[in-house]
Amino acid sequence: MNSILAFYYSSIGKKVLMSLTGLFLIVFLVEHLIGNLLLFANDSGKMYEAYGDFLVSNPVIRFIEIFLFLGVIVHAILGVILWIKNRKTRPVKYKYFRLKDNSPLASRTTIWTGIVIGIFLYIHLKSFFIPSRFTSQKVSSYELVMHAFSNPWYDLFYLIALLVLGYHLRHGFQSAFQTLGLRNKTYAPFLDMLAFIFWFLIPVGFAAIPVYFFFYHQAVSTMIMGVH
């Protein structure tokens, strides 16, 4: 027990927890995207809803879900704790400090991109997760999605949040492997290539959903209104 506490109190221990929770969240993102691509099946959401019902009724998924929430909370709290600690290590600031000449911007903005993701998660869970899980009358999650994404402002907010998530992972993905000690001369180029999937392709995949439903809605309303 003592050594577990000592591990947590060490600088490396906290970072290892951050990287493990971060990677766990990334694995979830992959699953979440694959599931959500069912929205594109041209069947008025039948498959998507079946998938949703499966998630809700499966006890294993419900169990993993607890860890998912814990993971986000631990990751976010540790991120903030580390950031505050780090801000105290240089009481007298440099007059000139040209960090932009020696380190990437994405690596120095994780706290801000992280906070934006946190706000996004709150709104995201409120509009999709809470209604489809905790309201008594059965709501169709497909309709929920269609309705939410018919609002262009909501779509814009989504696109910005996904851009920010991509930027968080631009640094985060390789950083997690570095923290776990898995980034050596042989793996580093491979990891940097693999990272592209996570910081670019996955956010783009998610972004396709609001874009699709926005235009879908436009097309439907044009048809109803009879304009054009």
As measured in angstroms, the least distance from the Cβ of 115 to ligand HEM is: 5
Considering the complex, state which of residue 83 and residue 154 has its C-beta at the smaller distance from ligand HEM: 83
Q: CB–CB of 143/45 below 8 Å? A: yes
As measured in angstroms, the least distance from the Cβ of 173 to ligand HEM is: 6
In angstroms, rounded to a whole number, what is the distance separating the alpha carbons of residues 177 and 169? 12
Q: CB–CB of 168/108 below 8 Å? A: no
Classify residue 81 as left (phi > 0), alpha (psi -120 to 50) or beta: alpha
Partner that binds at residue 26, options another protein, ligand HEM, none, CB closer than 5 to 8 Å by kind: ligand HEM
As measured in angstroms, the least distance from the Cβ of 104 to ligand HEM is: 12
Q: CB–CB of 5/65 below 8 Å? A: no
Sole binder of another protein in the list 59, 91, 189, 226 (CB under 8 A): 91
Considering the complex, state which of residue 15 and residue 133 has its C-beta at the smaller distance from ligand HEM: 15
Q: CB–CB of 179/13 below 8 Å? A: no
| Other CB atoms within 10 Å distance of the CB of residue 178 | 15
Q: How many residues bind ligand HEM (CB under 6 A)?
A: 27
Residue 24: name the closest of 63, 61, 75 by CA.
Answer: 75
Q: CB–CB of 19/180 below 8 Å? A: yes
The answer to whether residue 112 forms part of the interface with another protein (CB under 8 A) is no
Question: By CB under 6 A, which span of 114-122, 124-132, 136-144, 219-227 interacts with ligand HEM?
Answer: 114-122
Residue 177 — φ and ψ, nearest 5°? Answer: -70, -35
Residues in the chain: 228
Question: By CB under 6 A, which span of 44-52, 93-101, 139-147, 173-181 interacts with ligand HEM?
Answer: 173-181
Partner that binds at residue 116, options another protein, ligand HEM, none, CB closer than 5 to 8 Å by kind: none
Considering the complex, state which of residue 96 and residue 153 has its C-beta at the smaller distance from another protein: 96
Sole binder of ligand HEM in the list 13, 29, 38, 131 (CB under 6 A): 29
**Buried-state track 37-59, b at ≥16 Cβ within 10 A, e below 16:** ebbeeeeebebbbebbeebeeee
The answer to whether residue 202 forms part of the interface with ligand HEM (CB under 6 A) is no
Sole binder of ligand HEM in the list 132, 175, 199, 203 (CB under 6 A): 175
Classify residue 98 as left (phi > 0), alpha (psi -120 to 50) or beta: beta
Question: By CB under 6 A, which span of 16-24, 35-43, 207-215, 219-227 interacts with ligand HEM?
Answer: 16-24
Binding residues for ligand HEM (CB under 6 A): 15, 18-19, 22-23, 25-26, 29, 72, 75-76, 79, 82-83, 110-111, 114-115, 117-118, 121, 168, 172-173, 175-176, 179
